[in-house]
């Protein structure tokens, strides 16, 4: 689940897998976006960026 990640309305998204393809679906407006299989969820990417900044600041 990605919080506030919908490109259309800014709502929360969940991932749905159908026939081997993953789509991100907004819970508020129903907007569907294709999610490539080799990308990390946004919350992991943001956590890594914060950890990198903390290491550099120290």
7-20 residue pLDDT tens? 899 899 998 888 77
Cβ contact 7:33 at 8 Å: yes
What pLDDT, on the 0 to 100 scale, is given for residue 48? 80
State pLDDT tens for residues 15-58.
Answer: 888 877 788 899 999 999 887 666 656 666 677 888 888 988 87
- DSSP letter, residue 2: B
18, with CB counted inside 10 A (0-12, 13-18, 19+), is exposed
């Amino acid at each position: 689940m990605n919080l506030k990640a919908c490109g259309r309305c800014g709502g929360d998204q969940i991932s749905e897998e159908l026939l081997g393809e993953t789509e991100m679906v907004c819970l508020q407006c129903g907007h569907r976006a294709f999610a490539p299989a080799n990308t990390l969820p946004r919350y992991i990417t943001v956590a890594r960026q914060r950890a990198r900044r903390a290491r550099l600041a120290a």
